[in-house]
Chain A
Amino acid sequence: MKNMDARTLAHINLFAIFGVIPKLCELSEEARAIIAEDTVSLKVAVKGGPVGVLRFDRGVVSLVPGDGPCNICLPFSSPEKFNGMIDGTVTPIPSKGFTRIGFLLKKFVKLTDVLSRYLRPSEEDLKDETFFRTSTILMFHVITGAISQIGNEDRIGRASASYIVDGNVRMLISEGDEVVAAAHVCSKDHRLTTVPTDTDNAMSMMEFVGIHNARGLFDGTASSFTLICDSKLHLKGMISQLDNVNRILDRVALYLA
């Protein structure tokens, strides 16, 4: 992998990609229906990499970083193996939870298929405005989630994070007075944590005005300079924070490509 490292990618895969499963189940009825009846804790444990527990509780999902109790455990011997599962080249074998194998093989796979459809959508799917909206919101949360993983794990990302002063970087997509999606990256002693909610205590702010403009930036079809010029991308506050977050965003594009 050119200029990327497997461990950082594994963190992104767990905390940014799987990290949007709670939001997916919140926004997509189809996704929510798949796990509506289940109460399951699914642990992903990557040797030399990230560990986290996805908790499914009758349609409501959360992802808790770190070790914890679970019904099903998916151990991976290396970040590369976990990344392979995300790519579809590695089949995971649970070390615990054989009685719940049905959830893993049927429901969880079905859920991740829905997620893939939103994160790597077809042009046809995007013609549907509701799908477009959900897809863009999920992309927003993957990207904001990946910022922290890269800022904490990637060698060059850590260099960027080392220049980020303490405080919250508020990121949002707005339409008129409505906040369509919001998250904030909390910087403390150059460690970054993404919180997938809005904040009223921002040190800096990056606002994408209009969901189509945001999507254009995410897809690389829009120019940030044009959007700034047209007042469709607002930056304010501690600009040095945003400068360094932007440098991390360059690497987000590399990892998520």
Chain B
Amino acid sequence: MHPVYTFDKSMEMLRRAMNVIPAGIYGHLGPAEGCHIPIDAYPKYSSRAEGSYFWDLDGNRFIDYMCAYGPNILGYNDPDVEEAAARQREKGNCVTAPATVMVDFAELMVDTVKSADWAFFAKNGNDVTSLAVMTARAFTHRKKIVFFKGYYHGVSPWTQKIDYAGIMEEDVMHNIYVNWNDAEELEQVFDRYRGQIAAVIGQPYMHGNFADNVLPADGFWQKVRKLCTDNGSLLIVDDVRAGFRLDLAGSDHYFGFEADLICFCKAIANGHNVSALCGKDFLKTTISGLSYTGSYWMSAVPFAAGIACIEKMKRIGAPGMLIEKGTKLKNGLIAAAQKYGFDLHVSGVPSLFYLRLADDPSLMLHQEWVAECVRRGVYFTNHHNHFINAALSDEDIKETIEIADEAFAIVRNRHS
């Protein structure tokens, strides 16, 4: 039996934070958006992280399957990445004239990502999805953007919906929403808005929250590509979440098509803050003319970290390795669930898997099981896809399955 964690220091710190920080922890790492159900089953703050683990304020160690919601791909504090970052930090970071490491990084991105002829760097995924949409509108002189329902492309007003707080109708009036995997509906939209659609934006597969993730149907992306080409619209792939966990050449390459613009962030530099928009040569002049920059966007340390990260991912064959680890975990979890009569669905690509106990459509049972796992040191979430990192060992996977088994037993006893 694994010890059951408590989180007194985390909760105390959260209360202190709430005096000076909106919501204590705002956004996806916070207890509300992060679906900490129940609130007292989850740590709130980390004290340190190493490899596939993080430790919280109460000294509890977690095998981390959220990986900071994606950035940790090689393992926290990867020695190669950190050494490269430290070396660059000695030379300079945020300087009036950018360091040449920026050019090195752009060249590496162009060599690595199949559809890339250039790279434009920023900080967050949202920076580059917004840049992609601006580029599409500037190039086509059109307004409308097509989204696939269930999408997430960041938090800028254009990515949100009409009913979200702080959003004006004008922010989203040119958004068109179609169903994922429905090429026929997309075709109808192109007919209805002929000559008005600047771009179609999509994640490589549907990895929305609270529902099983859905891979593209056979030929779907190829149809989308053709519709965009035939109608003079751009195809934007938001590879912020899935990027490098499916294919180092880009998730468009993984699914056998080419994007005009592709957005990267999370796994690009193993936690160092940089994002990239890559694109086709015919868009280089357009993007060069946009007014789009930021104070820290040309900081050199994350570029050096990014180079070290991508080179290491190439050396170790990261996507294949992560998919293999994810598959091992998936099989173990499903077997543990079956032992107690539970129907655990594991969807999406195994390096980026989504979990759902299908025995209860309300997800309450699933939330109970996830909470029992977290209380014993396996950090899963109950609403979001998970992330595998290269430092995850066979022993970690074994321990995870043991804890999952224990958690299934507890939930089964509670509901027998």
The answer for the CA separation of A75 and B201 in the assembled complex, in Å, is 51
**B-binding segment of A82-90, A136-144, A236-244:** A236-244
Number of B residues contacting the other chain (C-beta, 8 Å)? 27
Collect the chain B residues with CB atoms within 8 Å of residue A160's CB: 163
Query: Which residues, 223 to 251 on A, are CB-close (under 8 Å) to B?
Result: 224-226, 228-229, 231, 234-240, 244, 247-248, 250-251
* B362 and A202 contact, CB distance less than 8 A: yes
Q: Which of B11, B31, B163, B164 has the most CB of A within 10 A?
A: B163
Collect the chain A residues with CB atoms within 8 Å of residue B14's CB: 229
A195 interfacial by beta-carbon distance below 8 Å: no
Collect the chain A residues with CB atoms within 8 Å of residue B362's CB: 167, 202-204, 237-238
Collect the chain A residues with CB atoms within 8 Å of residue B35's CB: 239
A156 interfacial by beta-carbon distance below 8 Å: yes
* A229 and B162 contact, CB distance less than 8 A: no
Query: Which of B23, B210, B383 lies in contact with A225, CB distance below 8 A?
Result: B23
**A-binding segment of B36-44, B122-130, B216-224:** B36-44
The answer for the CA separation of A203 and B366 in the assembled complex, in Å, is 13
B86 interfacial by beta-carbon distance below 8 Å: no
Query: Which residues, 138 to 166 on B, are CB-close (under 8 Å) to A?
Result: 161-165
B361 interfacial by beta-carbon distance below 8 Å: yes
B316 interfacial by beta-carbon distance below 8 Å: no
B15 interfacial by beta-carbon distance below 8 Å: yes
A79 interfacial by beta-carbon distance below 8 Å: no
* B163 and A229 contact, CB distance less than 8 A: no
B173 interfacial by beta-carbon distance below 8 Å: no
Query: Which of B15, B164, B210, B363 lies in contact with A247, CB distance below 8 A?
Result: B164
The answer for the CA separation of A160 and B37 in the assembled complex, in Å, is 23
Collect the chain A residues with CB atoms within 8 Å of residue B38's CB: 231, 234, 236
User: Interface residues of A: mostly helix, strand, loop or mixed?
Assistant: helix
Query: Which of B31, B363, B383 lies in contact with A228, CB distance below 8 A?
Result: B31
A50 interfacial by beta-carbon distance below 8 Å: no
Collect the chain B residues with CB atoms within 8 Å of residue A156's CB: 162-163
The answer for the CA separation of A168 and B28 in the assembled complex, in Å, is 26
Query: Which residues, 150 to 193 on B, are CB-close (under 8 Å) to A?
Result: 161-165
Mask: chain A, 82-118; 1 = CB below 8 Å from B; 0 = not:
0000000000000000000000000000000000000
The answer for the CA separation of A221 and B140 in the assembled complex, in Å, is 49
* B162 and A240 contact, CB distance less than 8 A: no
Task: With CB as the reference atom, state the residue of chain A lying closest to B210.
Answer: A240
- How far in angstroms is the closest Cβ of chain B from A255? 14
Task: With CB as the reference atom, state the residue of chain B lying closest to A158.
Answer: B163
**A237-B163 contact, Cβ under 8 Å, with A225-B23, A231-B39:** no
Collect the chain B residues with CB atoms within 8 Å of residue A228's CB: 31-32, 39
A19 interfacial by beta-carbon distance below 8 Å: no
* B18 and A225 contact, CB distance less than 8 A: yes
Query: Which residues, 244 to 264 on B, are CB-close (under 8 Å) to A?
Result: none
User: Interface residues of B: mostly helix, strand, loop or mixed?
Assistant: loop
Collect the chain A residues with CB atoms within 8 Å of residue B40's CB: 231
- How far in angstroms is the closest Cβ of chain B from A189? 16
Task: With CB as the reference atom, state the residue of chain B lying closest to A170.
Answer: B362
Collect the chain A residues with CB atoms within 8 Å of residue B210's CB: 238-240
Task: With CB as the reference atom, state the residue of chain A lying closest to B26.
Answer: A225
Collect the chain B residues with CB atoms within 8 Å of residue A204's CB: 362
The answer for the CA separation of A167 and B248 in the assembled complex, in Å, is 41
- How far in angstroms is the closest Cβ of chain A from B20? 13
Q: Which of B11, B15, B362 has the most CB of A within 10 A?
A: B362
Collect the chain A residues with CB atoms within 8 Å of residue B103's CB: none
A157 interfacial by beta-carbon distance below 8 Å: yes
B348 interfacial by beta-carbon distance below 8 Å: no
Collect the chain B residues with CB atoms within 8 Å of residue A6's CB: none
* A229 and B37 contact, CB distance less than 8 A: no
- How far in angstroms is the closest Cβ of chain A from B27? 12
**A167-B361 contact, Cβ under 8 Å, with A229-B24, A229-B31, A250-B165:** yes
A159 interfacial by beta-carbon distance below 8 Å: yes
- How far in angstroms is the closest Cβ of chain B from A218? 18
* B23 and A236 contact, CB distance less than 8 A: no
Query: Which of B163, B363, B383 lies in contact with A159, CB distance below 8 A?
Result: B163
The answer for the CA separation of A236 and B37 in the assembled complex, in Å, is 6
Collect the chain A residues with CB atoms within 8 Å of residue B165's CB: 247, 250
The answer for the CA separation of A226 and B369 in the assembled complex, in Å, is 25
- How far in angstroms is the closest Cβ of chain B from A54? 32
The answer for the CA separation of A163 and B31 in the assembled complex, in Å, is 22
- How far in angstroms is the closest Cβ of chain B from A185? 14
Collect the chain A residues with CB atoms within 8 Å of residue B363's CB: 237-239
The answer for the CA separation of A182 and B189 in the assembled complex, in Å, is 43
B209 interfacial by beta-carbon distance below 8 Å: yes
- List 28 interface pairs A-B (beta carbons < 8 Å), by A numbering: A156-B163, A157-B163, A159-B162, A160-B163, A167-B362, A202-B362, A225-B18, A225-B22, A225-B24, A226-B18, A228-B31, A229-B14, A231-B38, A231-B40, A234-B38, A235-B32, A235-B37, A236-B37, A236-B364, A237-B362, A238-B361, A238-B363, A239-B37, A240-B210, A247-B163, A247-B165, A248-B163, A250-B165
Q: 8 closest Cβ contacts across the A-B interface?
A: A237-B362, A225-B23, A160-B163, A247-B163, A240-B210, A203-B362, A159-B163, A156-B163
Point out residues on B near A: beta carbons under 8 Å: 11, 14-15, 18, 22-24, 31-32, 35, 37-40, 161-165, 209-210, 361-364, 367, 383
Point out residues on A near B: beta carbons under 8 Å: 156-157, 159-160, 163, 167, 202-205, 224-226, 228-229, 231, 234-240, 244, 247-248, 250-251
Given contacts A156-B162, A203-B361, A239-B363, 20 further A-B contacts (CB under 8 A): A156-B163, A159-B161, A159-B163, A163-B161, A202-B362, A204-B362, A224-B32, A225-B22, A225-B32, A228-B39, A229-B15, A231-B38, A236-B364, A236-B367, A238-B210, A238-B363, A239-B35, A239-B37, A239-B383, A248-B163
